[in-house]
Amino acid sequence: MTDKHSASRARALAAELRDLRRQAKLNTRDAADRIGISSASLNRSELGTRMPPPEEVSALMVAYAVTGVARERVLALARAANPAGWWETGGNALPKQLPTLITFESQATRITEFQPLVVPGLLQTHAYMRTLMQSGGIPDDEAEPRVAARAGRQTVLTRKNPPRYTTIMDEAVLRRPFGGRAVMAQQIRRIIELAELPNITVQVIPFDRGGYPIYGPFVLLQFAKALDIVHLEHKQASGFLDDPGDTAPFQPLTDTLKAAALGPAETSEFLAAVAADYDRK
């Protein structure tokens, strides 16, 4: 892409972002705060001197309640100038996108998460978080800010008017003793406690249910006035899917996983039994 083409697309995107923000009746400071960036960055984007990444533009669309054709037009402009698209690679991929994920979680009306290996981040205790990060080789000086950020994210589940949160976990999540028996017993009891909240549903797929469609972890975020978004994470890459053709298969997959899992009441009994196993060993 030539510099001339980049500049023209930046100006076109800038005009769209500026007009949509004004239609949403937000100033640049409030809009920037909603998606976790500086007002200076948003100002540069609206002046055409900065090309925001597609995930930032999508977060702005959620903040401005822009949907349908208008949203797709703006995202197409952003993607055209950012060939890498939604995906970020490298060891620090997730922290780089964390503000966007936090924004989506805070604005979602429904969050559905599948985890085959570790406790979902929104349900983790601090002790479990630290052990998980140590196991991943994250230095202590980097781990503590991540623990604080994750703990802050968790408040979305207990705020006023929280989203509906459903998580489906494989039994392997509960059986791998990150941090040892005491940490796991505490962690599982924390899950039981949270599952008692009216907006939280926890289901476990036990080993004795046999096989089911096994995929990597995913988070399906759904909004009142915007299209679904799916967050995917791997060690060296993380990103978001927002095209309806890409996100649509995750709803029937979620239904299949729920059908394979224990119901919420059975899951609570199962969790209590696993916690008791850790206490006895």
Give the Cα separation of 129 and 108 in Å (integer). Answer: 24
Do 109 and 224 contact (CB within 8 A), yes or no?
yes
Count of residues making up the chain: 281
DSSP state of 197: S
Minimum mean pLDDT range among 141-155, 175-189, 244-258: 141-155
Q: How confident is the model at residue 5 (pLDDT cuts 50, 70, 90)?
A: very low
Query: Is the CATH code 1.10.260.40 the one for domain 3-81?
Result: yes
pLDDT at 194: 97
pLDDT at 95: 56
Domain with CATH 1.10.260.40 in the chain: 3-81
Written as one letter, the residue type at 5 is H
CATH architecture of 89-280: 2-Layer Sandwich (3.30)
Q: Give me the residues paired with residue 167 across strands.
A: 113, 202
pLDDT at 99: 67
Give the Cα separation of 35 and 106 in Å (integer). Answer: 10
Farthest-apart Cα atoms in the chain, separation: 69
Q: How confident is the model at residue 8 (pLDDT cuts 50, 70, 90)?
A: low
Do 166 and 201 contact (CB within 8 A), yes or no?
yes
Q: Which of 85, 88, 18 is nearest to 48 (CA)?
A: 18
Domain with CATH 3.30.870 in the chain: 89-280
Look up tokens 């409030």; give the residue. Answer: 30
Whether residue 224 has pLDDT greater than 90:
no
Whether residue 254 has pLDDT greater than 80:
yes
